[in-house]
Amino acid sequence: VAKTVPGARDVPDVGTLKEMIREAGLKGTAGRIAVLKLLHEVRSPVTHAEASARLTGSGMDHATIYRNLTDLTAVGLAVRSDLGDRVWRFELRRGEREHNVKHPHFHCSACGAVACLPENAVTLKATAGGPKALRRKGLAVQVTGTCDDCAAASH
Ligand SMILES: [Zn+2]
Ligand SMILES: [Zn+2]
């Protein structure tokens, strides 16, 4: 199974998506396939509301979509992040299982746009005598500022 990276716009076919879900230990239901496909299609992490809006007409209600998002997260196909506004956003997991830090996110404080940053965009350094928290796994880094569109609009 080819690894698909967000940013590369390759969306695997249904058979491949189903196989990914099965390999992760879940039944490849139509709902999970639709949600996993959506996560391949989007450019940035999506909220449950955004996922629901995009899956209108799929026959799934909001609760089912949420359950599928959390199922895919539980088995490691997706990750969810709270980017400081207490809203979970879901996206594909990239090959970062082995790293301490998940890839950082940029959050525009003006329009709320969210973008994934490369893993090496932000480096954390655990200094001697500093908090050990920086050495623990599962750290999340968020960068807040003004996105390109908002910066352009203010000129
Ligand atoms: Zn913005
Ligand atoms: Zn991301």
Q: In this predicted model, what pLDDT tens digit does every residue of 26-84 receive, in sequence order?
A: 999 999 999 999 999 998 899 999 999 999 999 999 999 999 999 999 999 998 888 87
- State the Cα–Cα distance between residues 88 and 97, nearest whole angstrom: 19
Place of tokens 């196909």: 77
Ligand nearest to the CA of 148: 1
- Single-letter code of the amino acid located at 49: A
Q: How far is the CA of 82 from the centre of ligand 1 (A)?
A: 18
Beta bridge partners of 107: 114, 144
Q: Would you say the pTM of this structure is higher than 0.95? A: no
Q: Ion ligand 2 — residues with CB under 5 Å?
A: 91, 116
pLDDT bucket at 96, cuts 50 / 70 / 90: low
Burial of 148 (0-12, 13-18, 19+ CB in 10 A): exposed
52 with 65: CB under 8 angstroms?
Answer: yes
Q: How far is the CA of 51 from the centre of ligand 1 (A)?
A: 20
Place of tokens 């050990």: 132
Nearest one of 57, 71, 73, 61 to 27, comparing CA atoms: 71
- Under DSSP, is residue 95 helix (H, G, I), strand (E, B) or coil? coil
Q: How far is the CA of 57 from the centre of ligand 1 (A)?
A: 29
Average pLDDT over residues 5-25: 84
Give the mean pLDDT of the chain: 86
Q: Which two tokens stand for residue 130?
A: 């500093």
- State the Cα–Cα distance between residues 24 and 61, nearest whole angstrom: 24
Ligand nearest to the CA of 43: 2
pLDDT bucket at 24, cuts 50 / 70 / 90: very high
pLDDT bucket at 126, cuts 50 / 70 / 90: confident
The angle at the Cα of 34, spanning 12 to 6, to the nearest 5 degrees, equals 45
103 with 51: CB under 8 angstroms?
Answer: no
